[in-house]
Structure 1
Amino acid sequence: MMPQKNREKKITSGDNITTTRWIKARRVLGWFTLITLLIIVGGGMLLLRFATLPAGAIMQSTEIMDSEGQVFASIQGGIDRQPVKLAEISPWLVKATVAVEDRRFYDHAGIDAQGLARAAWVDLRHMSKQQGASTITQQLARNLYLSHERTWTRKLKESWYAIRLEQAYTKDEIIELYLNQVYYGHGAYGAEAAARLYFNKAARELTLSESAMLAGIPKGPSYYSPHLHPKAADTRKRKVLQDMLETGQISAKQAQAAITQIVNVRPLPEHQERLAPYFADYVRKVAIQAIGIDEQLLEEGGLKIYTTLDRKMQQQAEEAITQGVKGGDDELQAALIAIDPRNGQIKAMVGGRNYKQNQYNRVFATTRQPGSSFKPIMYATALEDHAVTASTRFRSEPTLFYYDDNRQIYRPSNYNNRYFNDEIGMRQAIATSDNIYAVNTIMRVGPQDVIDMARKLGITAKLDAVPSLALGTFPVSPYEMATAFSVFAGEGRKADPIAITRIESHDGDLLYEAKAHSEQVLSPALAYLTTNLLESVFERGGTGHRVASMLKRPVAGKTGTTDSDAWFVGYTPELTTAVWIGYDRGRAIKSSESRRAAPIFAQFTEAALTNVLPSAFAIPNGVVNVYIDPTTNLLYSPECASASVQETFLAGTEPTETCVSNERESEQKLDSLNKGKSWWSKVRRWWGV
């Protein structure tokens, strides 16, 4: 047996051998790791130093297609770029750009580590992306070589190219490239093109105030455009001047002078005539703001945008507007939007009578009172609540209405103070647009319920719960009115309006595809009943009767007239159309001008649906038709004094009482009186006492 002391020595000797081997292995691993890192770093340095930069990206216009896949417009089809040397650019623009985009431009090597840390700290404090961290060199690299997708891969490539650019070019060369490359909106790329577009002068002639305004545009070319958003552009200019002051580029006196100086912005050149220019502008807005397509990618990425526009319907809409305003005041404006109620697709859009003169899209104007064209929304509410039915009668005469716990009085009147001075039913009230009947109805149903109905139908405009709501006194856009009436046309289904069906990259990759969304917000029976009542507008005595001969198919709709606006909103099972006529500044319209909306609707609807066979509105379950006496609106019987007429009701709300002849009615009244007399009175009558 080995002594304990010898055994301990042997164990210790073995441990030393193991430790020595482990140390050697660690040294080998360390040297291997170090050599590997040196190779990687060295390779990276060699790449950064000698790798060839790729050719700059070729910018392509984005094409907008109609529903048949044919191009009808393009976004930035011709790029306005006029490269100049740095010496030909105002020093004020150079200083303003550096101050607002990259304060440490002359200190970093392409990537600003200090700026990254500052941006990260601000984002962390606000728990959101508040600060950008791209240097001017990084922006140039992105514009030249990369897409605008927001991924880490693109960001890493951007940083690599930025460092490479800093090694290949001087700072002056980089800022020169940047100022000739950056997008300033409205098709202008580079400082020279932008200076001539906005101020009609060369880039070298720009003042401090003009330079500050120009330097602020690239952050959001649409939002900070002095043409589209002058207030936002001026606010952005002040921000640029403040940055220049903080970085020592200008004095406080210079900053104040530039702030107070009025910048004269040159009007945009006239636009070329093209199909659906207002719709094309709307598509661009939806792509950027709703879908989230990068603006510069949209301008120069060669995308293909497929839309819902029906070329034939659009041409008919433009023709109808042209004919509708012909011979009128030169300042009289018009707007039209047509939507397929079955799927929400926008088929035609005209935002004004002359796009060249004014690009404001009145389809989305939220300062227009719809007048009586709003009444169907109110009547649908009352019918749904069973507050009234088609047989409900109110007296048409001057009436005072008390509301707000009798603290307020409302005095509505009919157009030209024309009243029936008798009781009338809902169908007659809708056909003749009787205001007294409408206010009686909203007083019975409650204004808040009407607002709730409007929201269900897609109206988001501000509405107050007051009696005048029944007469359309709160502004609503033609877009919202067409959306709401499409629910009636669509058998109670609300299909979200869409203009873009899909967007593809220039390589054919799918970037976006619309997801159709519809919701049953009204019962089919209620939608049909509302439609059935609105068909009366085109019958004799109705406000749309004078255009009835122009229409060769079942149509429902409603006129609307205020002091400054004229409307017609109507539909067939295949198409809903809202037409507005008026002046941009709210000037009063003449009586002859107020009658132009209905003919525009009729001309467009019939022309747009020429190749569509006429079809009646489908009658759903839950609707009943009964014959009533038009004098009393009670169920008809042979004893009624008048001839019978057929009326439509929601099942369960039709009249249950039957009319009687005048003689029978007198006998019934006498019997009723007799029932209340005592037996002694009857005895006295028998004896003649």
Structure 2
Amino acid sequence: MDETTSKVKPIPSKWTKIRRRLGWMTLLALLAFTITGSLLLQYAPLPVGATMQSTQILDADGQVLATLQGGVNRQIVKLSNISPWLVKATLAVEDRRFYEHAGVDLHGLARAAWIDIRHMSKQEGASTLTQQLARNLYLSHARTWTRKLKEAWYAARLERAYSKDEILELYLNQIYYGHGAYGAEAASRLYFDKPAKELTLAESALLAGIPKGPRYYSPHLHLANSQARQHKVLQAMQDTDQITKEQAASAATQRLSIRPLPEEEDRSAPYFVDYVKKVALDQLGMDERIMNEEGLIIRTTLNAHMQEIAENTVKKGLQGGNPELQTALIAIDPRNGYIKAMVGGRNYRSNQFNRVFANTRQPGSSFKPIMYASALEKHSVTPATRYRSEPTYFYYDNDRKIYRPRNYNDHYFNGEISMRQAIATSDNIFAVNTIMQVGPESVISMARKLGIKAPLKSVPSLALGTFPVSPFEMASAFSVFANEGRRAEPIAITSIQDHNGKLLYEAHPHLVEVLSPALSYVTTKLMESVFDRGGTGHRVEHMLKRPVAGKTGTTDSDAWFVGYTPDLTTAVWVGYDRGRAITSSEAHRAAPIFAQFTQAALEGSPPLLFPVPEGAVSVNIDPTTGLLASPECPNSVLETFLAGTEPTETCSLHGSEKKGLEDSGEGTGHSLWSRFRRWVGR
């Protein structure tokens, strides 16, 4: 008898049943999620598109200096009124598969990811044109995964709500093309002075390349970058068979007539406003679109009253001269680094170049206090040191090289002079003798401590300011002397808030002591003599009614005055952009601009004395010998030293000669009466 084998079904275990239930639940959840997502994509309303708001730049008192995008430059047009060349160029460079994807290009994402992996860096973007539109309409430009997910979602919603041509029309009316122009129509009229429907292939390729970086690819700011980007767009059009190789080559070589930017209305502190925008974009890393679209509030350090005085003083100071003569003025509060006023040239409309930051001008003798501070710090010289003022040969580089400096107009004292007299009269021989004692390397080290970053060479002529430094750096350096040796990095922006009041950035002034207070004070006391009789600043002494120190500087093509009070440091430069020679009368314009501005800017503020710190001592010395004055010395002067460097030997030159009752005032006598008149007014 045959035996029949029967199979018995195994009884499912407890865990098998649980796994099956979980599988069904997951499947149902995915199905529910899919149905819900589909319904939301189909019927959920899109949010209201973002309304672009003007960014405001405010002065220190909260008054508006400038409005960025004060009224958006946009003209809405139909897609049919936009050149087909611009449409093709935009699609070729921004989204080649626009008509194939549903808002998010999975093929493009995979390609971009593969390129990024190969290059081990972010080489490719993967946002579709629809995603870019969604970002501009509904989201910020923050680079986060949350924003990217929202961007993809809104892109999918846009694709459901609008046709492809409607999305393209929205995009071409929304995108930012730089210089305040939003949309193809506004951009076409801004750059080419024609409606968008009349754009040629070459013009369209240039415009299509700008949104990638409106500042970097602006033909007004970076023409070479703009042209390189245009060629890339033309190549993309050729690769996608939108144009032939011959058309691409012809458009690439076509000379375009780009319309000059329209002149801005006159506004206060235009050079400063440009600088604030540059700081926000380049130093603080703000996005240009955010700057122009998201209604930021940028608070600055500018004092509107001082700025008005600066602009008026510069205008008056250049009257009657050559119309090509230029100037720069920057004023800084040395106590915190706040920039209070800035004038970058005589006429912003005709030339926007900001000469405050021009590292092409030799500071001349205005650099000498930096060198003297280095020598005083090293005790290489003291205010009692004396050198002969006469034609001198200096040997350096192991005696292989010779340097023969000259004084202005070949004027020499032909005798020994003190450091005070050398600073007051700007004697070059004394200066080079000093740098030969301290060494150029020490001078460069001092300049770096004071914040000067310009290239400097270790040669004797460094003492005479032969290497270019900007007015900005000179004002910053002298602020250390004004602030008892403490350095504060110059600040233009105090805070940035978004349109909801959220704080995005806040400045925190940080003071660092780079010099001893005593060294700063001794250097300051020496620079006060520039305003004494015989000093290079004596002719403006009557304009100043408060304690002030400073230094003139004159080269063949530059005139400087850099000076300060305890509460304001100002650098003034006068010269020509192309470095042509200045006349004697032109060289004398810098000091009056400094004096008039300083006195008017601080009008109403009580005069402040430079505080006497520990480590500085004042003794009466005989100016002829540099020794301690005896009762018989006829013209003793009060001189200030770093403690321990003052002379200890008493002068015996004058025997029993009767001491004069007061300083004679000849040469660069340290006249207390002259100083008293200047500080309290006549």
TM-score by length of 2: 0.92
1:669-684 aligned within 5 A? none
State the alpha-carbon separation in 2 of the partners of residues 235 and 373 from structure 1.
43
Is this contact kept in 2: 1:270–1:357, CA < 8 A? Answer: no
- How far is 1:639 from its partner? 5.3
In the other structure, the counterpart of 2:206 is: 213
- How far is 1:126 from its partner? 4.6
Residues 124/549 of structure 1: CA separation in 2 closer, same or farther (3 Å cut)? farther
Which residue among 652, 672, 676 is the counterpart of 1:660?
652
Q: What is the number of residues matched between the two proteins?
A: 649
1:504 maps to 2:497? yes
State the alpha-carbon separation in 2 of the partners of residues 244 and 416 from structure 1.
66
Two-structure CA RMSD over aligned residues (Å)? 1.9
In the other structure, the counterpart of 1:495 is: 488
State the alpha-carbon separation in 1 of the partners of residues 400 and 228 from structure 2.
45
| CA deviation string 1:256-310 (max 9, x = no partner) | 3333322222111111011111111111111122112221111011111111111
State the alpha-carbon separation in 1 of the partners of residues 124 and 471 from structure 2.
39
In the other structure, the counterpart of 1:309 is: 302
Q: Say which SS state the counterpart of residue 54 (structure 1) adopts.
A: coil
Q: Say which SS state the counterpart of residue 204 (structure 1) adopts.
A: helix
Higher helix share: 1
State the alpha-carbon separation in 1 of the partners of residues 277 and 121 from structure 2.
27
| CA deviation string 1:576-597 (max 9, x = no partner) | 1111112222222221111111
Q: Say which SS state the counterpart of residue 654 (structure 1) adopts.
A: coil
Q: Unaligned 5+ residue runs, structure 2?
A: 1-7, 657-682
Question: Bigger shift: 432-441 or 228-237?
Answer: 228-237
State the alpha-carbon separation in 2 of the partners of residues 485 and 22 from structure 1.
81
Which residue among 220, 227, 246 is the counterpart of 1:234?
227
1:352 maps to 2:345? yes
State the alpha-carbon separation in 2 of the partners of residues 235 and 543 from structure 1.
52
Q: Say which SS state the counterpart of residue 334 (structure 1) adopts.
A: strand
Which residue among 639, 643, 656 is the counterpart of 1:647?
639
In the other structure, the counterpart of 2:80 is: 87
State the alpha-carbon separation in 2 of the partners of residues 129 and 611 from structure 1.
57
Letter in 2 for 1:132: G
1:13-412 aligned within 5 A? 19-412=12-405
In the other structure, the counterpart of 1:675 is: none
In the other structure, the counterpart of 1:515 is: 508
State the alpha-carbon separation in 2 of the partners of residues 487 and 402 from structure 1.
33
- How far is 1:509 from its partner? 1.2
Bigger-Rg structure (1/2): 1
Is this contact kept in 2: 1:78–1:187, CA < 8 A? Answer: no
- How far is 1:77 from its partner? 0.8
Is this contact kept in 1: 2:632–2:655, CA < 8 A? Answer: no
- How far is 1:456 from its partner? 1.1
In the other structure, the counterpart of 1:485 is: 478
State the alpha-carbon separation in 2 of the partners of residues 76 and 632 from structure 1.
67
Is this contact kept in 1: 2:141–2:290, CA < 8 A? Answer: yes
1:556 maps to 2:557? no
In the other structure, the counterpart of 1:420 is: 413
| CA deviation string 1:428-474 (max 9, x = no partner) | 11111111211121122111221111111111111111222111111
Q: Percent identity?
A: 70
Question: Bigger shift: 582-591 or 521-530?
Answer: 582-591
State the alpha-carbon separation in 1 of the partners of residues 244 and 389 from structure 2.
73
State the alpha-carbon separation in 2 of the partners of residues 302 and 388 from structure 1.
57
Letter in 1 for 2:208: A
State the alpha-carbon separation in 1 of the partners of residues 171 and 290 from structure 2.
17
Q: Say which SS state the counterpart of residue 212 (structure 2) adopts.
A: coil
State the alpha-carbon separation in 2 of the partners of residues 595 and 562 from structure 1.
12
Letter in 2 for 1:561: T
Q: Unaligned 5+ residue runs, structure 1?
A: 1-12, 665-689
Is this contact kept in 1: 2:82–2:196, CA < 8 A? Answer: yes
Letter in 2 for 1:295: E
- How far is 1:127 from its partner? 4.4
Residues 594/119 of structure 1: CA separation in 2 closer, same or farther (3 Å cut)? farther
State the alpha-carbon separation in 1 of the partners of residues 112 and 604 from structure 2.
60
- How far is 1:406 from its partner? 2.4
Is this contact kept in 1: 2:129–2:171, CA < 8 A? Answer: yes
- How far is 1:45 from its partner? 1.4
Q: Say which SS state the counterpart of residue 649 (structure 1) adopts.
A: strand
Is this contact kept in 1: 2:92–2:233, CA < 8 A? Answer: yes
TM-score by length of 1: 0.91
Q: Say which SS state the counterpart of residue 218 (structure 1) adopts.
A: helix
